[in-house]
């Protein structure tokens, strides 16, 4: 038995030596290709990122995404080159991966649709990080755009995570896209008040606020006749960042100006006339 085991060990040892001689250089070449490939992938990614950052028109989110895609493509070609060193038929491997990808695609349709929507959002950029948007009734400030989901913070600082597929298929309101926004204030005055005077006072209040743009100029007109008041509509333009404060301040200033001028802002009421 010991002699048989010794002969078997020598035979295995001989096979290992033969394999080392036959495939040793292939292993060394494969290691070198891997090291060079990963180094080149990182260098290519950094080159793409630096080149894209020279343009002020390209969003940082797209730059990072494009750099990652380039790196992964180089790594894929590197792995294929390594397999080629060991005689693996890469054409058959690609066909196998394609078939497996098709099967996985059917199983993960929802996930893949989120990825596709994420790519569309990154390239078409209907909104950017830091902008305030309303997506299908969900409003908040965008904090991050990923391949699968988009993260938003609501006004009460609640984190909202929305699948990208839901975003791409919904109507998007971007409140931060334009630099200027229109302020609209609805005011009601009494039926016995001077309408022309009320309109003039409202426009005058708007023009006195330095944050209000003079082009287009502030405007006011009669919007309708309500049950208890004559309804006026006041509009003015300001910087988008000042919208909330300007609307609040103008509403207060118009109310105070009307009080000073003796113009009534009536509350809902019902007048009953009794016939004799």
Q: Are 184 and 234 in contact (CB under 8 A)?
A: yes
Cis preceding linkage at 180, omega within 30: no
Residues 235, 201, single domain; the answer is: yes
The reply to whether 189 and 149 lie within a common domain is no
pLDDT band at residue 272 using 50, 70 and 90 as cut-offs:
confident
Specify the range with the lowest mean pLDDT, choosing from 57-61, 75-79, 127-131.
57-61
Domain stops at, among 57, 79, 107: 107
Verify that 91 and 135 share a domain, yes or no. Answer: no
Q: What is residue 252's predicted lDDT score, i.e. its pLDDT?
A: 95
- Residues 129 and 19: their CA atoms lie apart, in Å, by 56
- Residue 152 · residue 159 · CB < 8 Å: yes
The DSSP code for 229 is S
Q: Are residues 49 and 97 in the same domain?
A: yes
Please, which pLDDT band fits residue 121 given cuts at 50, 70 and 90?
confident
Q: How far is CA 92 from CA 26, 83, 214, in A?
A: 20, 12, 70
Is 74 a residue whose pLDDT tops 90? no
User: What tokens does 93 get?
Assistant: 């491997």
144's CB contacts (< 8 A; 6+ apart) are 129, 150, 151
Lowest-pLDDT range, 42-56, 150-164, 262-276?
262-276
25 within some domain = yes
* pLDDT, mean over the chain: 81
Answer whether 118's CB lies under 8 Å from 164's CB: yes
Question: Residue 81 pLDDT more than 70?
Answer: yes
Q: Are residues 159 and 207 in the same domain?
A: no
Average pLDDT over every residue of 136-152: 86
Q: Are residues 58 and 146 in the same domain?
A: no
- Tell me the C-alpha distance between 168 and 149, whole Å: 11
Q: Is the pLDDT of residue 99 over 90?
A: no
CA distances from 123 to 35, 61, 113, 126, 128 (A): 32, 9, 15, 9, 11
Please tell me the predicted confidence (pLDDT) of residue 76.
Answer: 81
User: pLDDT at residue 58 above 80?
Assistant: no
pLDDT tens, position by position, 8-22: 666 665 665 665 555
Tell me the residue range of the domain where 229 lies.
180-261
Look up residue 212 and give its two tokens: 């209000």
Based on the domain organization, do 246 and 160 belong to the same domain? no
pTM: 0.59
Are residues 224 and 239 located together in one domain of the fold? yes
What does the block give as tokens for 178? 């334009």
User: Mind listing the pLDDT tens digit for each residue in 165-206?
Assistant: 889 888 999 998 999 999 999 999 999 999 999 999 999 999
pLDDT at 7: 65
Whether pLDDT at 105 is above 80: no
How confident is the model at residue 231, as a pLDDT?
A: 94
* Predicted pLDDT at 1: 44
Give CA angle at 222 (185, 248), nearest 5°: 10
* Total tally of structural domains belonging to the chain: 3
Q: Is residue 206 part of a domain?
A: yes
Residue 121 has phi, psi (to 5 degrees) of -65, -40
- For residue 36, give the CATH number of its domain: 1.10.287.1260
- 30-42 average pLDDT score: 82
In the numeric block, the tokens 């060990």 are attached to: 9
Share of the chain above pLDDT 90, in %: 38
Instruction: Say whether pLDDT at 269 is over 70.
Output: no
Q: What is the mean pLDDT of residues 198-225?
A: 94
């Amino acid at each position: 038995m010991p002699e048989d085991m010794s002969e078997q060990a020598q035979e295995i040892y001989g096979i290992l030596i033969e394999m080392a001689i036959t495939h040793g250089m292939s292993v060394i070449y494969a290691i070198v290709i891997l090291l060079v490939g990963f180094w080149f992938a990182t260098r290519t990614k950094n080159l793409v990122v630096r080149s894209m950052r020279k343009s002020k028109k390209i969003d940082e989110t797209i730059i990072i995404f494009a750099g990652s895609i380039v790196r992964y493509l180089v790594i894929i070609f590197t792995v294929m080159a390594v397999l080629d060193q060991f005689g693996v038929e890469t054409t058959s491997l690609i066909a196998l991966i394609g078939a497996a990808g098709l099967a996985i695609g059917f199983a993960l349709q929802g996930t893949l649709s989120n990825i596709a929507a994420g790519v569309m959002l990154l390239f078409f950029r209907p909104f950017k990080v830091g902008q305030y948007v309303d997506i299908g009734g969900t409003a908040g400030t965008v904090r991050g755009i990923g391949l699968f989901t988009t993260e938003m913070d609501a006004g009460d600082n609640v984190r909202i995570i929305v699948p990208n597929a839901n975003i791409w298929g919904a109507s998007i309101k971007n409140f931060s896209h334009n630099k200027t926004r229109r302020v609209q204030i609805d005011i009601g005055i009494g039926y016995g008040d001077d309408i022309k005077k009320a309109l003039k006072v409202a426009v005058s209040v708007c023009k006195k606020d330095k944050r209000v743009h003079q082009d287009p100029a502030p405007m006011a007109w009669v919007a309708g006749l309500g049950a208890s008041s004559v309804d006026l509509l006041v509009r003015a333009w300001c910087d988008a960042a000042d919208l909330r404060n300007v609307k609040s301040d103008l509403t207060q200033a118009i109310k105070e100006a009307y009080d000073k001028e003796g113009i009534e802002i009536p509350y809902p009421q019902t007048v009953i006339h009794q016939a004799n």
